[in-house]
Structures are given as structure tokens and as C-alpha cells.
Amino acid sequence: MRSGFVVSLARPGGNITGLSTQAPDLEAKQLELLRQALPSLARVGVLANANSPNTEETTRLEAATRALHFALTESRISRSDQLPEAFAAMRQAGMGAVLFRYDLWFIDPKQVAALVRQHRLPTMHNLRQFVEAGALISYGVDFAYLHRRVATYVDKILKGAKAADLPVEQPTKFELVINMKAAKALGLTIPRSVLNRADEVLE
């Protein structure tokens, strides 16, 4: 809806429908999980896509950090080769963790994992692939489930349904994934209460 592709989630009204990841709406929860996983955390860096203004979303993110008593510093990049410099700058500025915004679609998880190890800086993501590669934690939709749900939309449209009449489905399943090997390498102790909530803990 924010991008103007559909009139509403219930009735898209055009030729586009499908499934929402709700990625922008999850960032406040991601910050909350960072607070719970790293209780002493004081300063959070936010890394975003320089080509995505997201003024409203940035304002909401700033409000969330204030509520959690975080100091926030945002950095923006437009290419993957800018990531090492941005990472080093946030570490030098005293950031205790980095939240990767959902719009960093051009970042390689393996590159992030290498920088996490190099700078000993934990990161939060919306995709589990980053945690599987060696980052610390992710919270987001279960994309495997979404991919399966896409088939139901294809089936309905092939049977004559119009996209304008098919509601944009919002996810109901979110997954918290934690990499304990990364935590140990970073010298972090994740509280048992957080580990118990995780959908998957990678050893």
C-alpha cells in the first residue's frame, strides 16, 4: 500500500495481488528482540539502502529506539562494496549491534558474516539466510511458507479469479533464528528466555 501498488490489502483493485512480508512493520520487533538478547546494548547502528527514502519508516524506527532507550545511528549504502567501510565506521563509532533494513536486497550474507567476525559486531536481519551464513540473529517471515502459498494464488487466477478481488495475504508465521556459534565467537551470552522463544537455534 505504501508504494501505491494496491488500493487496500482487502481489495487490491488493480492487476496486482499476492503476499506481504510486512518487513517494514517488523523492525520495531527486531529492535525489541535485540534488547532482550543483548540486555546491556546501548548503541544501535541501522544500515539502510541509500536509494530508499522511507522517511515514514525511519521516523517509526527512531521512535522505537527511543522507547527501548537505544541511541541510534543510521548509515546508508547503495552498493555491496560500500558495506565494509560502513561496517568499520559503525564499529569505530561504538555501535553495539547493527540492524540491517529489509531493503538491502543487494547484500551477500557471506560478506556480512565475514564482517561480523572481523569487527565482532552482532547483526539483526529479516532473513534467516544471514544467520545461516554466520550472522547472529534474524526475525522475519517464513519465506518457504510464503512460496507455498503463492501456488494458491496462481491456481485461483488460472481458474478465472481477478487479482483485483484477491486480498493481499498478510503473514501469520514469523520465525526467530539465532546462531549460537556466532554468539560464542562474539563473546555473547544469549539469555535462556530468548533461546526458548527461538524457532531455531543453530549450533
| 5 found inside a domain | no
Domain enclosing residue 182, as ranges: 23-143+170-202
pLDDT at 164: 66
Per-residue pLDDT for the chain (203 aa), expressed as one digit of tens each? 445 455 455 555 556 655 555 556 789 999 999 999 999 999 999 999 999 876 677 788 888 888 999 999 999 999 999 999 999 999 999 999 999 998 899 999 999 999 999 999 999 999 999 999 999 999 998 766 666 666 676 666 777 767 666 676 676 788 999 999 999 999 999 999 999 999 999 99
β-strands 174-179, 137-141: how paired? antiparallel
| 153 found inside a domain | no
| 132 found inside a domain | yes
Tell me the DSSP string of 105-150. Answer: TT--HHHHHHHHHHHT--EEESSHHHHHHT-SEEEEE-HHHHHHHH
pLDDT at 82: 97
| 165 found inside a domain | no
Please count the residues of the chain.
203
| 155 found inside a domain | no
Question: How many CB atoms within 10 Å of residue 82?
Answer: 14
pLDDT at 159: 75
Helix or strand holding residue 199 (H, E): none
pLDDT at 147: 62
β-strands 71-77, 123-125: how paired? unpaired
| 43 found inside a domain | yes
| 188 found inside a domain | yes
Per the structure, the count of domains in the chain is 1
β-strands 123-125, 97-100: how paired? parallel
| 2 found inside a domain | no
Domain CATH for 91: 3.40.50.2300
What is the C-alpha separation between 56 and 91, in angstroms, rounded? 27
What is the C-alpha separation between 41 and 93, in angstroms, rounded? 14
Q: Label residue 122 left, alpha or beta by phi (over 0 means left) and psi (-120 to 50 means alpha).
A: beta
